[in-house]
Amino acid sequence: MNYASIRTCDIANGEGVRVSLFVSGCTHRCKGCFNEEAWDFAYGQPFTEKTESELIAALEPGHIAGLSILGGEPMEPENQRALVPFLRRVRDRFGVSKTVWVYTGCVLETQLMAPSRWRTELTDEFLSLVDVLVDGPFVEAEKDISLEFRGSANQRIIRLRGGAAA
């Protein structure tokens, strides 16, 4: 897996100050996407063990609320296979003291929980490591800049741990 960028002080992609990982590769290709360059699976840098260690170090300070993973598309099957071992490391190090938010163009019930090209042998474990899932493709006709932590009205903020959906 490649990644497009890392932000170590992000307040736009989840609650609190966060470390955000933007992965490369997306087959959704939503019209009006803010990150089209990350559609290409080869874009950016290789996601290595060194990258993982740098992200974990960036998560250490007490003022960092957690990790956000965006794209591209984190739920692309090949990205899931790279991210699950990393998320295990994050949980091993921080437990539930840091939240994990994942942004996906997939819909939880129909693409991640039901048979689809997105559902892999690791999807259930991936979701078990996530606190908040922001799901649904970006729909340009439903774009609303007043929405918190999402770009279009069809997208949902789903708390997978610790509370009801927002």
Round to whole Å and give the CA distance between 158 and 133. Answer: 5
In a domain, 8, yes or no: yes
In the predicted structure, residue 166 carries a pLDDT above the cut 70:
no
CATH number, domain containing residue 141: 3.20.20.70
In a domain, 165, yes or no: no
Which pair of structure tokens corresponds to residue 5? 């960028």
- The mean per-residue pLDDT over the stretch 21-29 comes to 89
Structural domains in the chain (count): 1
Give me the domain span that covers residue 98: 2-159
Distance of CA 1 to the CA centre of its chain: 14
In a domain, 152, yes or no: yes
Round to whole Å and give the CA distance between 23 and 41. Answer: 9
Q: Which residue has the higher pLDDT, 71 or 76?
A: 76
Instruction: Say what the pLDDT of residue 162 is.
Output: 65
| Other Cβ atoms closer than 10 A to 58 | 18
In the predicted structure, residue 65 carries a pLDDT above the cut 70:
yes
| Residue 101 near residue 13 (C-beta atoms within 8 A) | yes
- The mean per-residue pLDDT over the stretch 85-97 comes to 97
- The mean per-residue pLDDT over the stretch 50-60 comes to 98
- Reported confidence tier of residue 140, pLDDT bands at 50, 70, 90: confident
In a domain, 164, yes or no: no
Round to whole Å and give the CA distance between 128 and 112. Answer: 12
In the predicted structure, residue 28 carries a pLDDT above the cut 90:
no
